[in-house]
């Protein structure tokens, strides 16, 4: 019985994962998207890239960097350089960055115990970004997001409701070398059973002039 329950739990987790990711690449001839007003247009563009233009994946931490949007050899002209934004430069260059933490918890949040993770930074980067995705949290008063004990002032997308959404919090200073903690604290007990932390990652970036 225990083995059967473990199999069902794994199966359910996989089902939830695919449901909340709201996308499923079927083949080069068809795509499946979500009816979500917030996520639908994003997923449509993403999947059409696979189906029509042969665009590869671009997920942080993922191994599948391929297709017309991928480029590995900076000694040759970049075919899509005219699409790059920002200050004009003679040639594109590799920017210094690192991702010391990336997780996909897919966990329900609880008011009794905050969810947290620690990670280490070398302290050699100029700025950093906390990126995470949540569902079931429509109000800013539902949740507190902290980095090293500091409230980052998270606010949900104004029309997101209980749907999933990705959030980026940019911080224009570098992390100190050593251990750091990211913490998610559910405040509103009415969100128990719906509030979910789906993914979380921390990225560090060098100076633009490096």
Same structural domain, 48 and 114: no
pLDDT band at residue 31 using 50, 70 and 90 as cut-offs: low
The stretch 196-210 carries a mean pLDDT of 89
Last residue of a domain, one of 30, 57, 83: 83
pLDDT band at residue 181 using 50, 70 and 90 as cut-offs: very high
Same structural domain, 191 and 106: yes
**Domain for residue 210, yes or no?**
no
pLDDT above 90 (res 3): no
Same structural domain, 37 and 131: no
**Nearest residue to 202 (alpha-carbon basis) of 136, 148, 142, 139:** 148
Residue ranges making up the domain that contains 77: 2-83
pLDDT band at residue 10 using 50, 70 and 90 as cut-offs: very low
**Domain for residue 118, yes or no?**
yes
pLDDT band at residue 207 using 50, 70 and 90 as cut-offs: confident
Contacting residues for 190 by C-beta, under 8 A, at least 6 apart: none
Q: Would you state the pLDDT for residue 152? A: 98
Same structural domain, 111 and 188: yes
Count of structural domains within the chain: 2
Same structural domain, 27 and 73: yes
Same structural domain, 109 and 193: yes
Q: Would you state the pLDDT for residue 30? A: 62
Same structural domain, 77 and 132: no
Same structural domain, 171 and 200: yes
Instruction: Give the pTM.
Output: 0.77
Condensed to tens digits (0 to 9), the pLDDT of residues 66-82 reads 777 778 777 888 877 77
If one compares 130 and 45, the residue with the highest pLDDT of the two is: 130
**Domain of 105: which CATH number?**
2.60.120.260
Same structural domain, 59 and 156: no
Same structural domain, 33 and 66: yes
Given a contact cutoff of 8 angstroms between Cβ atoms, the answer to whether 150 and 207 are in contact is: no
Same structural domain, 74 and 111: no
**Domain for residue 91, yes or no?**
no
What value does the mean pLDDT of the chain take? Answer: 82
């Amino acid at each position: 019985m225990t083995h059967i329950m473990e199999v069902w739990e794994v199966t359910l987790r996989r089902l939830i994962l695919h449901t909340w990711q709201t996308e499923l690449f079927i083949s080069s001839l068809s795509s499946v998207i979500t009816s979500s007003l917030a996520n639908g247009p994003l997923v449509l563009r993403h999947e059409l890239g696979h189906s029509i233009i042969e665009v590869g994946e671009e997920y942080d931490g993922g191994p599948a960097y391929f297709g017309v949007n991928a480029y590995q050899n900076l000694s040759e002209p970049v075919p899509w350089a005219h699409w790059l934004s920002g200050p004009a430069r003679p040639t594109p260059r590799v920017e210094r960055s690192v991702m010391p933490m990336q997780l996909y918890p897919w966990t329900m949040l609880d008011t009794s115990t905050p969810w947290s993770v620690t990670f280490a930074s070398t302290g050699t980067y100029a700025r950093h970004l906390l990126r995470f995705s949540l569902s079931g949290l429509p109000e800013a008063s539902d949740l507190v997001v902290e980095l090293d004990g500091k409230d980052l002032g998270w606010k949900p997308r104004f029309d997101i409701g209980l749907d999933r959404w990705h959030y980026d919090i940019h911080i224009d200073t570098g992390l100190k070398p050593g251990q750091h903690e990211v913490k998610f604290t559910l405040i509103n007990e009415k969100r128990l059973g719906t509030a979910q932390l789906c993914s979380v990652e921390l990225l560090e970036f060098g100076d633009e002039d490096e």
